[in-house]
């Protein structure tokens, strides 16, 4: 039987982390020719992940520009992929989640009537502008996709409500948990001395990330003010803020938090370093989506610096709490966990609502079934 050609497309760091285990799985399948195309919507942050997982892309659109606009990203991805798809003629294109690379990748495939598989499908806040532009990116991608790999039951329900045919949706778990099985190690040594020397036992080390578009301006300002107060009010707290390379975020964070010896501002770390830092820290405060999935897997409480989330599973389970970007509310909720052990223990139960480490294998099996390469039994992730 003729092999099927699958091109996996991604462009930002989190997509790369979550697609890497799937790329590795597809490479093992005899009936599949697996190719990787990176848009490089992110450059350095993407390259770190490619190197860690030892992935050499077959195609690299190299589109990133300083302070890039959404229109610019969309145009450059559409044009770049048009050329690659017309030459390569893949049987299916795989995209991930909700970035502008994701939507443009799905649209470029649709324009050439190539099948689209959407990994991490069905996450919704049901609010068009939160997160912006991700909520719309994922909805539009769903309209273009032929196969929907929903991480949880809840994400499948969202897709059905929007009229997606149930037979095209599979609950797979999230591939990020597959990635964490490779990265997290109890005896991990960091590449930065500071991280090896911090006293994770006697200090309460809080890991921070915050960079989302809808938090630019007032949101980031408030977050910085709250972080300064938390450090001032708690002698045993140290903060490690991994500051995104986007200058719009970076300039504010360095100005407001740059002068405190208990606040450590670091560049984004490699994936394995971030996962292991999370494993050692006391808790996480973030506006990122990925960390909301990763930290519960490690039993770390998460305060989410957003008003809505597309990942309600861990909120329902009680390990993640939405606190928004109001200064008083952030300080109040953080202090509760720092000062009250019972509150902390309630939120620090390790749980796996997002996956069991087999998502990539399931997705590859489903693709093989779809193209009649082999008939495989699919056991969905039903947590």
H/E stretch holding 16: helix 13-28
Sites for ligand UD1 among residues 247-286 (CB under 6 A):
247
Closest CB to ligand UD1 among residues 88, 270: 270
Hey, what's the torsion of the CAs at 321, 327, 328, 329, to 10 degrees?
-10
Query: Under a CB-based contact definition with an 8 Å cutoff, are residues 319 and 296 in contact?
Result: yes
Structure tokens at 37: 């195309």
The binder of ligand UD1 chosen from 14, 122, 312, 353 (CB under 6 A): 14
How many residues in the shown chain lie near ligand UD1 by CB under 6 A?
A: 21
Query: Cβ 220 to ligand UD1, closest distance in Å?
Result: 12
The stretch near ligand UD1 (CB under 6 A) out of 60-68, 175-183, 295-303, 329-337 is 60-68
Query: Cβ 134 to ligand UD1, closest distance in Å?
Result: 5
Query: Cβ 61 to ligand UD1, closest distance in Å?
Result: 13
- 361 belongs to the binding site for ligand UD1 (CB under 6 A): no
- 133 belongs to the binding site for ligand UD1 (CB under 6 A): yes
Catalytic status, residue 60 = no
Catalytic status, residue 199 = no
Cα gap 55→43, rounded to integer Å: 14
- 71 belongs to the binding site for ligand UD1 (CB under 6 A): no
Report how far Cα 12 is from the mean position of its chain's Cα atoms.
9
Catalytic status, residue 211 = yes
Binding mask 209-248 for ligand UD1 (x = CB under 6 A): --x---------------------------------xxx-
Rg, C-alpha atoms of the chain: 20
The binder of ligand UD1 chosen from 66, 71, 113, 197 (CB under 6 A): 66
The binder of ligand UD1 chosen from 99, 141, 271, 286 (CB under 6 A): 99
- 12 belongs to the binding site for ligand UD1 (CB under 6 A): yes
User: Which strands form 204-209's sheet, in the order they lie side by side?
Assistant: 263-266, 237-242, 204-209, 283-286, 302-304, 320-322
Catalytic status, residue 134 = yes
Catalytic status, residue 181 = no
25, with CB counted inside 10 A (0-12, 13-18, 19+), is: buried
β-bridge mates for residue 266, sequence order: 242
The binder of ligand UD1 chosen from 4, 13, 118, 124 (CB under 6 A): 13
The binder of ligand UD1 chosen from 3, 43, 182, 256 (CB under 6 A): 43
Cα gap 155→91, rounded to integer Å: 26
CA-based nearest residue to 134, from 289, 338, 282, 354: 289
Tally DSSP H helices, then E strands, for the chain. 16, 13
Query: Cβ 145 to ligand UD1, closest distance in Å?
Result: 17
DSSP per residue over 243-289, as a string?
--S-HHHHHHHHHHHTT-TTEEEEPPPPHHHHHHHHHHSSEEEES-S
Query: Cβ 216 to ligand UD1, closest distance in Å?
Result: 9
Catalytic status, residue 255 = no
Closest CB to ligand UD1 among residues 57, 364: 57
Q: Which residues are annotated as catalytic?
A: 98, 120, 134, 211, 213, 244
Question: Contact residues for ligand UD1 (CB under 6 A)?
Answer: 12-14, 41-45, 66-68, 70, 98-100, 133-134, 211, 245-247
């Amino acid at each position: 039987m003729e092999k099927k050609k699958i091109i996996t497309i991604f462009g930002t760091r989190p997509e790369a982390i979550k697609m890497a285990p799937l790329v590795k799985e597809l490479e093992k399948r005899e009936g599949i020719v697996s190719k990787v195309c990176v848009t490089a919507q992110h450059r350095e942050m993407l390259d770190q992940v490619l190197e860690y997982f030892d992935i050499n892309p077959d195609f690299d659109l190299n589109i990133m520009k300083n302070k890039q606009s959404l229109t610019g990203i969309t145009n450059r991805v559409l044009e770049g992929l048009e050329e690659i798809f017309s030459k390569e003629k893949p049987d299916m294109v795989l995209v991930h989640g909700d970035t502008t690379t994701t939507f443009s990748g799905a649209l470029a495939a649709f324009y050439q009537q190539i099948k689209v598989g959407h990994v991490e499908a069905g996450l919704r806040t049901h609010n068009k502008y939160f997160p912006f532009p991700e909520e719309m990116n994922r909805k539009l991608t769903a309209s273009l996709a032929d196969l929907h790999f929903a991480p949880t039951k809840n994400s499948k329900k969202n897709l059905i409500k929007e009229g997606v045919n149930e037979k095209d949706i599979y609950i797979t778990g999230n591939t990020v948990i597959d990635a964490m099985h490779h990265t997290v190690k109890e005896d991990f040594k960091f590449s930065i001395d500071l991280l090896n020397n911090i006293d994770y036992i006697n200090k309460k080390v809080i890991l921070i990330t915050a960079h989302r578009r809808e938090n630019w301006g007032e949101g980031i300002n408030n977050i910085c003010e709250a972080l300064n107060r938390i450090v001032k009010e708690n002698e045993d707290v140290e903060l490690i803020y991994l500051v995104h390379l986007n200058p719009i975020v970076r300039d504010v964070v360095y100005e407001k938090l740059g002068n405190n010896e208990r606040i450590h501002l670091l560049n984004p770390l490699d994936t394995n370093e971030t996962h292991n830092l999370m494993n050692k820290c006391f808790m996480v405060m973030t506006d990122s989506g990925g960390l909301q999935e990763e930290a519960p897997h490690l039993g770390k409480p998460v305060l989410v610096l957003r008003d809505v989330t597309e990942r309600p599973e861990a909120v329902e389970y009680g390990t993640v709490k939405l606190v928004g970007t109001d200064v008083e509310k952030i300080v109040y909720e953080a202090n509760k966990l720092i000062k009250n052990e019972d509150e902390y223990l309630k939120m620090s139960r390790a749980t796996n609502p997002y996956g069991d480490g087999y998502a990539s294998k399931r997705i590859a099996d489903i693709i093989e079934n779809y193209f009649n390469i082999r008939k495989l039994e699919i056991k969905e992730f039903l947590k």
